[in-house]
Structure 1
Amino acid sequence: MRALPLVLALILPLPALAGGVIATRTLPAGTVITAADLRAGKEGAGGIEDPSRFVGQETRITIYEGRPIQASLLRAPRLVERNQIVRLLFRRGTVNIATDARALDQGGAGELVRVMNLDSRTTVTARIAPDGTLHAAR
């Protein structure tokens, strides 16, 4: 008799705990989120979170309408795309060199990407600045 509630709990479907921030429409991968794309959900496992925290982030995967949005599904917006021609800055002490390079990876602000210097054909690692320029890593 004591096992009956346990068995029923395992058999009967439970209501989904939709907490936190909810997508108001289907957001394909790579979509930059706006305030109109989000709404606060019912208090659930994660509690109500501030939707403005996610505005300006980019989706890593498709998030369907009505589904909760988690921080792990988002990333900083891509500033550099693969094969894009970018400005590469190299600074050591008083020496400053600026040249064009081809991005070999995609990335957002603060991330490290590989780039190929178009003049020397040398591959270097560079950090993406918030303005989209790349700074050769030391």
Structure 2
Amino acid sequence: MMRWLLVLLAASPAGADTLVAARTIRAQAILTPADVTVTPAAVPGALAHPDEALGMETRVVLYAGRPIRPEDLGPPAIVDRNQTVPLAYRAGPLTIRAEGRALARGGAGDVIRVMNLASRTTVSGVIRPDGSVAVGASR
């Protein structure tokens, strides 16, 4: 019995690291090197290297000593809820531009819902790096 226990312990992954929060971090904070630390433990689904998290924005509260998972982070928000944003619809050579109100907060590449201020129609679109929102088939 003792041999099997030794075999199981020896078979565990050596050198596997897990990224954890160094302190409790509120949601919507940008992570810095002081916010994270690496522990020598393997936690399935958790990030393993600080480069995967630094500069990202927290989507939820991160508690001190808890593993950081990819879904806990996202790109820094460039559009805030209720912010007026330019909408752009493109189909081939046709481009239609309008003003919209963001119904959610998000970063570049996130899909959010936006209300077209002229028609009061709600559409979904992808946030571009410049803060505009691309809607339609060719987002």
Contact 1:35 1:52 in 2 (8 A): no
Per-residue CA deviation, residues 94-117 of structure 1 (Å, 9 max, x unaligned), is 122222111122223222222122
Structure 2: any 5+ residue segments left out of the alignment? 2-16
Deviation at 1:88, TM superposition (A): 0.8
Q: Distance in 2 between matches of 1:133 and 1:52?
A: 28
What is the distance in 2 between the residues matched to 1:65 and 1:105? 28
* Alignment-derived partner of residue 11 in structure 1: none
Indicate if the aligned counterparts of 1:24 and 1:38 stay in contact, CA closer than 8 A.
Answer: yes
> CA separation of 1:122/1:70 partners in 2, compared to 1, >3 Å: closer, same or farther?
closer
Q: Scaled by the length of structure 2, what TM-score is found?
A: 0.73
**What is the RMSD of the two structures over their aligned residues, measured on CA atoms?**
2.3
TM-score of the superposition, structure 1-length normalised? 0.73
Partner of 1:63: 62
Q: Please, which runs of 5 or more residues in structure 1 have no aligned partner?
A: 3-18
Runs of 4+ in 1 over 6 A off after TM superposition: none
**Aligned partners of 1:32 and 1:56 also within 8 Å:** yes
- Distance, in Å, in 1 between the alignment partners of 2:38 and 2:104 is 35
Percent identity reads 42
- d(CA) in 2 for partners of 1:62, 1:114: 24
The match for 1:106 is 105
